Amino acid sequence: MKRILSIIACLGFVACASQNDGLVDRMTHDPNSTNTETILHVWSWNFPTIAENMKQIADAGFTMLQTSPVNACFSPEGGNIKILDEKEGNWYHYYQPTDWTVGNNIVGTEEEMKAMLDSAKKYDIRVLVDVLPNHTAFNIDLVTDEFYEAVGGREKMFHSKGLQGIGDYNDRTECTLQGVGGLPDVNTENPLFQKYYMQFVNKLIEMGVRGFRYDTAKHIGVHSDPLDTEAGVTENDFWDVATGRKEVLGVSLCIPYDSLFVYGEVLQDRNVPEEEYAGYFGQTASSYGHVLREVLWKRSAKDHDLLSWYHRAAPEYLTTWVESHDTYCNANESAGLTDAQIRTGWVFLTARQNGTPLFYSRPMNSTRENYFGDNLLGARGNDEFFHPEVVAVNKFRQAMAGQLEDIRISEDGEVIIVNRGDKGAAVINFALEANPVELPTALPDGEYKDEVYGTAFTVEAGVLKGTAQPETTYIIR
């Protein structure tokens, strides 16, 4: 009986006894803060595959994993088999919700998800789910009758201009009330929609999910954004409900919000109210990722500022990446970067004091000529997530809790040292040739060997010296 009551409470049929209002100052940087967690984006892996690889994920030093969307989604005839194929499916089909129920034919069933979550708990991995309440499938006739009924009918599902595509992404009226990429824009302010969506969220939490990535978060309005009065909206309160500040029709977030890891895909551009979004969740450091990729393309940080985070929010609340599934798949902005280049960027990013870095798992057997490799939805990604350099820096990050960063860059920008107090240092050589290392460090004088290759380095009079091989990184403690 106790178990049954727990489930009922979490699904929102009774009010939660303890809630956190989510009021956190995410704008003021604490210079002494250090982030230790890392996220593996198990992009397009299905639940059984994730479960089978959970031990390896944990052994690789990742503390969180992020799944692809788990909701019911567009499923064309022929199924969702391929990552990118005209007939046999596409990765973006699960970004087209048809209902807020658990399970689809890409990631697996509710039962398979529960087994995966049990495995994650065993290995102390926190699971984040990619959620996308902002829109439905392109074809609104494919949305389930149950979903329409739950929100009060088809006419209540969308904003008044929700079936029109956005023309100007810097116009906040269009950005929040019209369709991103042509996807029908949901009336997220409809209390019936909010209730139905929160029941889905609470079910995931009851199953063991402990965080969320909100897709297209900047397309869901905050209080300063225009109201869709034609649809009867009087307050842009979706984020207040989603983060547990208020209940809706007797349903509220079923655990304290501060026990979850939540970040929003708020891609940076003009007129984005980053400060208001920071009142609700962490945000993506998309501009920083762009600068880092420019450095990787040039194989040099010269004339680039890698110290700034290019964001108004405090860096300890930013989710960072070298690349994301969007930069890889949409315009292939990052897909041409080699695995070695991605590794050098990952080691630099992860060795830093702040941000929570996300490692995108590229498809198995992908190459720079064939971005989708085996081209199979559900399959494990390539071996890069457990490359020794990736593992070493993930564990270095955890070990450096409390140690402040000091970044030193060679004159030509090809070699960087990320010093963490006097306890450790990460050395990165972006170049295609070997480079001498001779940069300041707070490590005590002495002889060192890095943790991956056993390469010798020395510290004398506060200067770290050695030789870094092409496109190689080193962890020294």
Nearest to 20 by CA among 204, 259, 202, 223: 259
User: Which H or E run includes 398?
Assistant: helix 388-399
Contact 35, 316 (CB under 8 A): yes
- Report the C-alpha gap between 101 and 447 in whole angstroms: 57
* Nearest-10 Cα torsion for 197, 154, 187, 269: 100
Q: What one-character DSSP code corresponds to residue 444?
A: P
Residue type for 126, please? R
- Report the C-alpha gap between 16 and 118 in whole angstroms: 24
- Report the C-alpha gap between 355 and 430 in whole angstroms: 21
- Give bridge partners of residue 438 from the DSSP assignment: 465
How many helices (H) and strands (E) the chain has is answered by 13, 20
Residue type for 76, please? P
b or e along 433-454 (b: 16 or more beta carbons within 10 Å of the residue's beta carbon)?
Answer: eebebebebbbeeeebebbbee
- Report the C-alpha gap between 54 and 65 in whole angstroms: 9
Nearest to 107 by CA among 32, 17, 44, 42: 44
- Report the C-alpha gap between 101 and 207 in whole angstroms: 13
Catalytic residue among 189, 240, 247, 265: 265
Using DSSP's 3-state secondary structure scheme, residue 67 falls into: strand
The alpha carbon dihedral of 340, 341, 345, 346 has a sign of: negative
- Report the C-alpha gap between 81 and 179 in whole angstroms: 27
Told to judge if 265 belongs to the known catalytic residues of this protein, a careful annotator would answer yes
Catalytic residue among 99, 130, 174, 215: 215
Which residues are designated catalytic? 215, 265
